[in-house]
């Protein structure tokens, strides 16, 4: 994937570029907003990571200008600001996701993955049936079946599984789950998400040979068919 990094902080930019290259992405870098906008406007860019505060052209203005030209390139905004409101303004300006510094590389990579696949999964979004291996989820009838056996889930477990299935094969972090399923943006001091996941795991994996819900150490969870 061709990723553009618009970041004025050299250390952050270099580390990020290196990490993205290592996982197999092609990386372009821009050190200020104007340069960033020029590069982002080129057709080659699949995804842009834009710092919120940039010299010459502010990160938000960059995203707004990009959207004004009709480009739908997914944009992840990185911010070193106070948050709460800034996240809303960032998303309103046209950003697709928002991450506050300092972040874990695993969090950023997971979010980039999710953003990049959002384009492909556009059809899955409209699909009423999600399927992974022998696990099936019907959004219309709100039924979950595994290997032909009906699985009883609470409303929240259903939502959680739906989210995981829409991101199947990807790493989903705890914050992504809290945001995506509960619409909350804070870090609970208690391992609330882990317990929800372990309940879901009980429900969908316990009576079956092949586990589908995996823990990714130091990052989060992943719903996938293990090779």
Partner 1 sequence: MEQEQRFLGVLGSSPFRIAVVYSVVFALGVVALLGAVYFAVSQVVDSSTDNLIEAEVQGLREQELVLSRSDFIELIEQRSQDQDVRGAVYLVVDPQLRPVAGNVPAWPKSAANEGKWIQFKVSVPFGDETRVHEMRAENFPVYAGYRMLVGHDVQERQDVKSLMMRGLIAAVVLTMLLGLGGGFWMGRRILAQAGAISAVATQIMRGDLSQRLPVRDAEDELNSLAREINSMLDKIEQLTLGMRTVLDSAAHDLRTPLNRLQATAEAAMTQLAPASNERRVLERVTSEVDHMRSTLDALLRIALAETGTVAREAVDLSELVASMVELYAPVTEERGIRLESSVIAGAEVQGSRQLLAQALANLLDNAIKFTPKGGHIRVLLRLHGACPEVVVEDDGPGIPAEKREIVLGRRVRLDEARKFPGSGLGLSLVAAVTKLHGARLVLDDARPGLRVALKF
Q: Which residues bind partner 1 (CB under 8 A)?
A: 9, 11-12, 15-16, 18-19, 22, 53, 80-85, 88, 100-105, 156, 182, 184-192, 195-196, 199
Closest CB 177 distance from partner 1, rounded Å:
11
One-character DSSP codes across 122-133? HHHHH-SEEEET
Closest CB 51 distance from partner 1, rounded Å:
10
Closest CB 49 distance from partner 1, rounded Å:
13
One-character DSSP codes across 173-196? EHHHHHHHHH---S--SS-HHHHH
Give the integer Cα–Cα distance in Å for 177 and 73: 23
User: Which residue lies nearer to partner 1 by CB, 4 or 73?
Assistant: 4
User: Which residue lies nearer to partner 1 by CB, 53 or 124?
Assistant: 53
Judged on CB neighbours under 10 Å (0-12, 13-18, 19+), 110 is buried
Closest CB 72 distance from partner 1, rounded Å:
26
Between the alpha carbon of residue 100 and those of residues 90, 129, 176, the distances in Å are 11, 34, 13
User: Which residue lies nearer to partner 1 by CB, 5 or 73?
Assistant: 5
């Amino acid at each position: 994937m061709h990723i553009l990094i618009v970041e004025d902080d050299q250390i952050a930019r270099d580390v990020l570029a290196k990490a993205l290259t290592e996982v197999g992405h092609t990386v372009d870098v821009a050190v200020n907003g104007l340069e960033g906008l020029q590069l982002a406007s080129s057709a080659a860019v699949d995804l842009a990571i834009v710092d919120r505060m940039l010299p010459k052209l502010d990160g938000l203005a960059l995203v707004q200008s990009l959207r004004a030209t009709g480009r739908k390139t997914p944009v992840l905004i990185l911010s070193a600001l106070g948050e709460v409101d800034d996240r809303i303004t960032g998303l309103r300006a046209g950003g697709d996701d928002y991450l506050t510094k300092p972040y874990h590389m695993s969090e950023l990579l997971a979010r980039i993955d999710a953003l990049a696949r959002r384009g492909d999964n556009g059809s899955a979004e409209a699909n009423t049936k999600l399927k992974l291996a022998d696990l099936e989820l019907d959004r219309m009838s709100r039924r979950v079946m595994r290997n032909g056996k009906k699985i009883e889930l609470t409303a929240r477990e259903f939502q959680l599984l739906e989210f995981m299935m829409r991101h199947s094969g990807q790493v989903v972090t705890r914050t992504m789950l809290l945001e995506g399923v509960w619409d909350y943006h804070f870090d609970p001091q208690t391992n609330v998400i882990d317990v929800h996941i372990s309940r879901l795991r009980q429900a969908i994996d316990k009576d079956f040979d092949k586990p589908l819900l995996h823990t990714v150490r130091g990052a989060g969870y992943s719903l996938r068919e293990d090779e």
